[in-house]
A and B are shown apart, each in its own frame.
Chain A
Amino acid sequence: MQLDRWIALVILCISLIYGYSAFFVMDELLAPFLRRNPIWPSTFPKILSVLAVATSFIILLKIERSVERNTSSDMDLSELKNYKIKEAIILLALMVAYALLLRPAGFLLSTVSFLSLGGVVLGERKIYILIPITTLATVIIWYLVQGILGIFLRPLPYFL
């Protein structure tokens, strides 16, 4: 089965869970006097779930005739083996680490580490240039965001 139909299957499952929640769970929480209203909090989600299930089936069963490949995206699945997937996964892991360390390690340390390690992962070998540039950029951004725009970003690790 093609990837787009696998995705339609996943969305179908999500829509069924969403629909089950709208049809059977949400209404139980509704106060009795609200039940006389023509519109309930579950009304709109119910409509959406029915439409989403129907549309998922159209894709899953290939009811719509596809006459051309939508070439707006030039990401080609058949070329997957030629792509640098390992680098992409490492960068995503770095983003997750950044999210987890931003508060405990502070903005300056976590940002300089993220930008420098990101550069190294992508092949930058002139670390003596990379680290000063990322440090300077980080300090400027921190000053702009906290000093001028007044949005608080803890600069240093929590223990300092």
Chain B
Amino acid sequence: MLEGLLIGLGAAFSFQNIIMVVLGCLTGTFIGMLPGLGPMSIIAIMIPIAITIGDPSAALILLAGVYYGAIFGGSTSSILLNAPGVAGTVATSFDGYPMARGGQAGKALTVAAIASFAGGTIGAVLLMIFAPALSTVALLFHSAEYFALMVVGLSAIAAFAGSGNVAKAVLMTLVGLMMATVGEGALFNMPRFTMGLMDLQSGFSFITLAMAMFALPEAIFLVMNPARSVQGSSKNDIKDLRITRKEASQIAPVIGRQSIQGFFIGVLPGAGATIASFLGYAVERNLAPEKEQKEFGKGSVKGLAAPETANNAACTGSFVPLLTLGIPGSGTTAILLGALIALNVTPGPRLMTDSPEIFWAVIVSMYIGNIVLLILNLPLIPYIARVLSIPRTYLIPFILFFTLMGSYIGQNNSTELLILVGFGVCATILKFADYPLAPLLIGFILGSMLEDNFSRSMQLYDGISFIFERPMTSGLITVAIILIVLPSVRARFF
């Protein structure tokens, strides 16, 4: 392994490659901040440039920089504007945005940067050690286990519901799942609940729903209640990056746990950063002492560090099936697979033996990407955080505009903007009635995957018996039930 690492370092460390990773990180960070443009779109845009470079190692290093930069950029818009551009950064906004609103934008961005760095780096170490062995474990996961894993992911709703509000969270999850059934599903090839409207043929767009559930109600409320603005905090508070010793000791174990959990979830094809971040948030909330649990959702550093670490570690984990089996585990790795093939590199079991310099260059590029990202972004954070000190007469119209553009760019359809406004108004009313909106979005994101895996399992087992016949499935379903029931039992008896 050490020999391989040296091969990778030899391939990666050159002046040209360092420039590539710096450019990649900067490009990824700035474009990633635009809602609607996630890592997948940005890497797709950068592929022609990577191919022009010709050298696979240099191209991969550029793309790794773009990838990590885009993830951090997405977190930035979640934290500062409550506008998660991709599903993997939705959980980041739960505590990141309240921190920013409370005048701790600089600190929130610093925690996110450090957590991302740690998640990505620990993930890369785990990738190096466990890649070959894990690829066989990932193949043991069948549709029944995926279905159960999604149910556990959905049970994370319990983490967002206060005592006595579990029913509201469950109802919101069900509404999200119902919305995910609108349109033509991949499995049945038949339009459902479209009411004959062509615009609903492909279902609701994730980005429209994310903007409507998070960014728009916040912007509307900033308009209605000017006192809510962060302008009450001084500019120095907003720019302050310092993390106290107490906060560092709080987030250190979270980072350790979530790096490992996120990585192993990321290894499973299809599970990816989204489930890792939601589960990471839920697990850390449940593990926290009761006093700290109440801080979750209101600006807890633990609540911010958990999803940030987990989604970065999961992104690294998703490289395991790609590099060892040639199977892309997520949309982003599918695009990277295309880039690798265009560069005449075929990932798979033989990559490690046939082209060790490429395999190890990818791993080394992950370390370099993470380190460069941290070095570049920490000094930039005070400037990025200044976004919040822009006068509200400018800031709010721009937030609304980016919300609209995020939705429009994804679909290129004006009807999408009307849907956005409609859902935004509904989301605001729901917030007034204390309905948590995160479960709705989680339900929507996981809905189609949940139904696909449920349907495949039903077909394979000719009924629902797969839940009882497969031990791992039964175990996961039991965990999910406990997660949902526990808050109500706690509220009633303790």
Is B170 a contact partner of A66 (Cβ separation < 8 A)? no
Q: Is A91 an interface residue (CB 8 A)?
A: yes
Decide yes or no whether A135 CB sits under 8 A from chain B: no
Instruction: Determine whether the beta carbon of B434 is less than 8 Å from that of A48.
Output: no
**Are B393 and A119 neighbours in the complex by a CB distance under 8 Å?**
yes
How many angstroms between the C-alpha atoms of A73 and B220 in the bound complex? 14
Interface set, chain B 444-473, CB cutoff 8 A to A: 451, 454-455, 458-459, 462-463
Q: Which of B45, B228, B397 has the most CB of A within 10 A?
A: B397
Say yes or no: A67 contacts B164, CB within 8 Å: yes
Q: How many residues of A contact B (CB 8 A)?
A: 76
CB pair A85 B31 closer than 8 Å: no
Per the 8 Å Cβ criterion, residues 218-269 of B in contact with A are 220-221, 223-226, 228
The A48-94 residues at the B interface (CB cut-off 8 A) are: 48-49, 51-52, 55-56, 58-59, 63-75, 77, 79-80, 82-85, 87-88, 91-92
Interface string of B263-286 (1 = CB under 8 A from A): 000000000000000000000000
Is B401 a contact partner of A87 (Cβ separation < 8 A)?
no
Q: Judge if B13 is at the interface, Cβ distance under 8 Å.
A: no
Chain B residues within 8 Å of chain A by Cβ, number:
75
Chain B residues with Cβ below 8 Å from A13 are none
B394 near A133: Cβ-Cβ < 8 Å: yes
Provided the pairs A70-B434, A151-B409 are in contact, do residues A92 and B220 lie with their beta carbons within 8 angstroms?
yes
A51 CB, nearest partner CB in chain B, Å: 6
Q: Are B397 and A122 in contact (CB under 8 A)?
A: yes
In the complex where A11-B175, A21-B193, A55-B170 touch, is A95 in contact with B433 (Cβ < 8 A)?
no
The segment from B317-325, B337-345, B350-358, B424-432 that touches chain A is B424-432
Distance between B44 CB and nearest chain A CB, rounded to angstroms:
10
Contacting pair B417 A98 (CB below 8 A): yes
The 0/1 profile, CB within 8 Å of B marked 1, for residues 1-32 of chain A is 01110111001000100100100001001000
Alpha-carbon separation in the docked complex, A87 to B409 (Å):
27
Could you tell me if B421 and A41 are in contact, using CB atoms closer than 8 angstroms?
A: no
When C-beta atoms are compared, the residue in chain B nearest to A69 turns out to be B434
| Contact A85–B224 (Cβ < 8 Å) | yes
| Cross-chain contact B436 with A72 (CB below 8 angstroms) | yes
Check if B434 sits within 8 Å of A4, measured CB to CB: yes
The interface bits of chain A over 106-141 (1 if a CB of B lies within 8 angstroms of the residue's CB, else 0) are 000001001100110011100000100110010001
Q: Which residues of B contact A160 (CB under 8 A)?
A: none
Residues in A whose Cβ lies below 8 Å from that of B400: 91, 95, 114, 118
Which of A48, A85, A119 makes the CB contact (< 8 A) with B177?
A: A48
Say whether A122 contacts B392, CB under 8 Å. yes
Whether B433 pairs with A100 at a CB distance below 8 angstroms is no
Interface centre among A48, A72, A111, A137 (most CB of B within 10 A): A72
Q: How many angstroms from the CA of A100 to the CA of B418 in the assembled complex?
A: 8
Query: Is B429 a contact partner of A7 (Cβ separation < 8 A)?
Result: yes
Considering the complex of A and B, which 8 residue pairs feature the smallest CB-CB distances, nearest first? A118-B397, A99-B417, A66-B164, A124-B393, A70-B162, A83-B224, A4-B433, A72-B297
- Beyond the given A37-B459, A39-B458, please list 14 additional residue pairs across the A-B interface where CB-CB is below 8 A: A15-B178, A41-B188, A41-B190, A41-B192, A49-B178, A59-B167, A64-B165, A68-B163, A77-B432, A80-B432, A99-B417, A103-B414, A119-B393, A124-B391
Instruction: Give 18 A-B contacts (CB < 8 Å), ordered by A residue.
Output: A3-B429, A11-B171, A15-B178, A41-B185, A59-B171, A67-B491, A68-B162, A70-B162, A75-B428, A83-B225, A84-B224, A91-B397, A92-B424, A102-B417, A119-B397, A149-B31, A149-B45, A150-B45
